[in-house]
Amino acid sequence: MAKIINGKKIAQEIIQELVVEVQGFRDIHNTIPGLAVVLVGEDPSSEVYVRNKIKRASEVGIHSTKHMLPIASSQVELIETIQSLNNNPAVHGILVQLPLPKHIDEKAVIEAIHPDKDVDGFHPINVGALVAGTATLKPCTPYGCMLLLKSIHPDLSGKLAVVVGRSNIVGKPMASMLLQADCSVITVHSRSHNVEQLCSQADIIVAAVGRPNMINSGWIKRGATVIDVGINVVNIDGKRKLVGDVDFNDIELWADAITPVPGGVGPMTIACLMKNTLTAARNQVSNK
């Protein structure tokens, strides 16, 4: 039976450490770390994510503000909001919840965020730093996945990691971080050939495709560690249920360790956002 990697518990431990670290920062610098969360429109899952981020911020002693823009807002209006947050010294981190409405160019919005305040790590300067191995603000979901992997394998050196999916938010930064940790890394995606065969050689699989239960025991080497980033809503017997990209029940006997959905990667993303907000605040006070 595979070990279940308890992301909820590990995230809670990070949150508890942050409570102490944030208090220390507040005492030394007489400054409260500030996080601004920007949401355009009323997408129900984005609203849930934003609410959870704000709740966690208040738990760790980070001051957060919510900036809700109507769905019809123009790109110029959104960028003006970002610029005023860039110029606000009480705001150390800015997060624009994605996806954005279709009429807004995501790239232009990400580039409008000051790189020092980019707690998502999506600005090209931070992406470049990640690839170069010098990043301080790392994309929260892959950062959380790395912490989960390190809880099982403190030394990842030499392991063969296969990342399934190549999004800018998860797949690409995940591959960079695994490489930085001395893994051999393969990224597979919708155009890849022999995906199952590549996965079945992996010591570590990170699944981030958004397809319910796509990966089953036929894809997994015995003893592999499997991190499931997928959060898919499916209807089972008339009930809404969250499932990952990995068929958990099918691989449970094969894998060495796996993350559940929910309670695996999800809570780690928010914990890492809080870590990044404190890092951003530290970087900004030391640059003053």
Active site residues: 53, 97, 120
Toward ligand GUN, which CB reaches closer, 46 or 217? 46
- Measured CA distances, 6 to 3, 147, 152 (Å): 9, 12, 11
Residue nearest to ligand GUN (CB): 98
Nearest residue (CB) to ligand GUN, 10 versus 231 = 231
Give Cβ neighbours of residue 261 (< 8 Å, ≥ 6 apart): 228, 230, 231, 242, 243, 244, 246, 248
How far, in whole angstroms, is CA 215 from its chain's centroid? 21
Identify which of residues 73 and 141 has a Cβ nearer to ligand GUN in the complex.
141
Q: How far is the CB of 128 from ligand GUN (least distance, A)?
A: 18
Q: How many Å apart are CA 58 and CA 3, to the nearest integer?
A: 32
Cβ 176 to ligand GUN shortest distance, Å: 15
Q: Please identify, using beta-carbon distances, which residue of 2 and 113 lies nearer to ligand GUN.
A: 113
- Shortest distance, CB of residue 193 to ligand GUN, whole angstroms? 28
Which residues of the shown chain bind ligand GUN in the complex (CB under 6 A)? 95-98, 120, 140-141, 169
State the nearest-atom distance from the C-beta of 232 to ligand GUN, in Å. Answer: 13
The residue length of the chain stands at 288
Angle formed at CA 224 by CA 223 and CA 225, multiple of 5 degrees = 120
Q: Calculate the alpha carbon distances from 113 to 94, 123, 273 in Å.
A: 7, 7, 16
Query: Do 261 and 2 touch, CB atoms closer than 8 A?
Result: no
